[in-house]
């Protein structure tokens, strides 16, 4: 596996691959890799000849008081996992490489407000502006043919798809299904914040979402009541609910009677750990 830390190093490798007529996939991550990330790398292998995995903890998508400083950084372990997964190039830029003039004085993007200011965006203002800014920079540096994102962060996936369309990138966004632990909890780097006593309650997030998705599919006219009941069920499991909402999968809008492809999304707190998850909901 090759490694690059600078723009020049990355572009030199990409140029060689391009001259050889090879197709390139990008897997953007913040590191602390787990099986969910490795599923993205495996999906990238099915789509391209060469895989670039980036590891960069982006300060622009963390608000003041969030866990930027303690976000787990495990580069050597990540490196070993990527070698075993047959990644072709690991890109580990510094802040200076991504933001040559510093994150506070950089050219930045604004995510589409209709997608970015709701759900996660309502709780974390500016978060998706930071996401699209760094993703666009990675796209510009790596020039991939495809980029792979996990469905666990469904709103992020929708936001990045819109940014890709709006800015005219000639690449495809590939979604990959959420990878879960034995109890149904979506794999996440932040799961390591959970203690043993919090784990059972955290696993109820997926169970309640499955219940809600099944109920909405069966009786879509009762969506609001199902959302309220799901909220109550999560609270009864000891989870502090940020939101639980059924939206149109394509654009996160409030579903209309004719819509069939929906998604139920939720964010909760288990102790001091914030968890997000979502599930598809197909109305017959």
pLDDT band (50, 70, 90) for residue 220: very high
Sheet (strand 273-282) strand order: 240-248, 261-270, 273-282
- Residues paired with residue 176 on neighbouring β-strands, in sequence order: 150
- Cite the active site residues: 37
pLDDT band (50, 70, 90) for residue 201: confident
pLDDT band (50, 70, 90) for residue 65: confident
Q: Is the model's pLDDT at 234 over the cut of 90?
A: yes
Q: Is the model's pLDDT at 174 over the cut of 90?
A: yes
CATH numbers and ranges of domains, the chain: 2-176 (3.40.50.620), 189-282 (3.30.1300.10)
* Per-residue model confidence (pLDDT) at position 52: 98
How would DSSP label each residue in 110-168? ---HHHHSSTHHHHSTTHHHHHHHHHHHHHHHH--SEEEEEGGGHHHHHHHHHHHHHTT
Give residue-wise pLDDT tens across range 105-153.
999 999 999 999 999 999 999 999 999 999 999 999 999 999 999 999 9
Going by the DSSP 8-state scheme, the letter that residue 86 receives in this structure is: T
Q: Is the model's pLDDT at 259 over the cut of 90?
A: yes
Strand, helix or coil at 172? strand
The model's pTM: 0.96
- The helices-and-strands tally (H runs, E runs) of the chain is 10, 9
Strand, helix or coil at 33? coil
Q: Estimate the crossing angle of helix 7-19 against helix 127-142, to 10 degrees.
A: 50
Structure token digits, residue 31: 């590191």
């Amino acid at each position: 596996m090759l490694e690059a830390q600078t723009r020049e190093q990355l572009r030199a490798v990409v140029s060689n691959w391009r001259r050889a007529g090879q197709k390139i996939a990008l897997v953007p991550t913040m590191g602390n890799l787990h099986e969910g990330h490795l599923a993205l790398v495996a999906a990238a292998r099915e789509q391209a000849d060469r895989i670039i995995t980036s590891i960069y903890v982006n300060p622009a998508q963390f608000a003041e008081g969030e866990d930027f400083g303690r976000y787990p950084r495990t580069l050597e372990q990540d490196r070993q996992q990527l070698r075993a997964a047959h990644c072709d190039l690991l890109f580990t830029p510094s802040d200076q490489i991504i933001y040559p003039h510093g994150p506070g004085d950089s050219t930045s993007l604004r995510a589409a407000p209709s997608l970015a200011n709701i759900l996660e965006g309502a709780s974390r203002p500016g978060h998706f502006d930071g996401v699209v800014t760094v993703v666009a920079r990675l796209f510009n540096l790596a020039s991939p043919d495809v980029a792979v994102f996990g469905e666990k962060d469904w709103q992020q996936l929708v936001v990045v798809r819109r940014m890709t369309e709006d800015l005219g990138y000639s690449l495809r966004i590939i979604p990959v299904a959420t990878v879960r632990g034995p109890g149904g909890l979506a794999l996440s780097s932040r799961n390591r914040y959970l203690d043993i006593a919090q784990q059972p309650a955290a696993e109820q997030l997926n169970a309640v979402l499955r219940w809600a998705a099944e109920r909405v599919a069966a009786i879509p006219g009762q969506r609001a009541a199902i959302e309220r009941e799901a909220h109550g069920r999560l609270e009864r499991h000891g989870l502090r609910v940020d939101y639980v909402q059924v939206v149109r999968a394509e654009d996160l809008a409030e579903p209309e009677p004719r819509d069939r492809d929906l998604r139920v999304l939720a964010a909760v707190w288990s102790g001091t750990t914030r968890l997000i998850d979502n599930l598809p909901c197909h109305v017959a």
